[in-house]
Amino acid sequence: MNFHYYLLVNQAAGSGTGKKVAEKIIPLLEQKKLTYSIYYSEYKGHDAQIAEELAKKTLIAWTEEVQEQDNIFPLLVVIGGDGTLHQVLNTFYHLGVDFPVAYIPAGSGNDFARGIGLPRNAVKALENILSTHQPQEFNLLSYEEKVSEKQGIVVNNFGIGLDAAIVHATNHSNAKKQLNKYHLGSFSYLLSILRVFFCQKGFPILVDIGGKQIAFDKAFLCTATNHPYFGGGVAIAPTAEIAKSTIDLVVVERINLFKILWIVLLLLQKKQMKSKNFHHFTTSKLRILSTVPQYGQEDGEDMEKQPFDLQLSTKKQLFWCEVLR
């Protein structure tokens, strides 16, 4: 089967990394004499507009009939960060359509690429796409938040509390932009951790895990994920696997400073499970209730403080890549 590659490029991703990656990819497509069209995202929300236009006029679903035909298949290739991928897939979700998507990571965190084992080198990621003959199925998180009446798809994680406050501080800081210029975007999260760490207070939450309810009086961090990573490579849930139809929930309790620092050290060594104040659950369906307003974050997009009534499940999505893990 032949392909026409539709490149959706977020030039601003990674403070300009998206544009640089596109400049590397296009000559390679030319050399290989592959057909392509390119769409540049020029402002916030433009990713979603482009994705919607392509969904309605160009892209088609991957079916057995399509595989048997000798036609040119229109394949969307997203070049950007996790936020770009988030916008595209949420556009498809709200349109009620299902298309395979190829992805070349060009953000500052690139946690999704880590999670599925996709090369974070642009050239290698392109080679991976070109050598793929059929899409692979992965599980994303599907959520419904009843307080704000919002629903959608999460490619990495949905957090309430500390991680969300860190994301909020990071997204409203000049440090991230400056560090991205030197490809050190992950350090912006570390700086935000230092800023937020001592300010975040414990808050009560109730989690319903497969029908079993567990209450925490002083939760510090509450994060649901479908693969190990968040915050630019921090393995918050080392045993999470995106190939499985499960949700991993991590809850850390607000404890004294020395115990928290101990958990941080364990976290950096991927040994956080040894702490009795670090709670990890795996389930197929999850509900989180928080009556005390907290910051929220979905794939690095911060939400203003609010109470939460959050329900999560999994949703399958086709990605055009070879599994390397």
Residue 99 vs residue 109, higher pLDDT: 99
Q: How does residue 66 score in pLDDT terms, banded at 50, 70 and 90? A: confident
Last residue of a domain, one of 113, 134, 155: 134
If asked whether residues 199 and 296 sit together in one domain, one would say yes
Same domain? For 125 and 185 the reply is: no
Q: What is the pLDDT of residue 175?
A: 57
Residues spanned by the domain of 100: 2-134
User: Each residue of 7-46: pLDDT tens digit?
Assistant: 999 998 877 888 999 999 999 999 999 999 999 999 989 9
The residue-averaged pLDDT of 134-153 equals 94
Shared-domain flag, residues 171 and 86: no
Kindly report, residue by residue over 233-273, the tens digit of the pLDDT. 888 888 899 989 999 999 988 877 666 676 667 666 676 76
Residue 325 lies in a domain: no
Domain membership of residue 69 (yes or no) is: yes
How far is the C-alpha of 252 from the C-alpha of 192, rounded, in Å? 18
Question: What per-residue confidence (pLDDT) applies to 278?
Answer: 84
- Which one has a higher pLDDT value, 131 or 230? 131
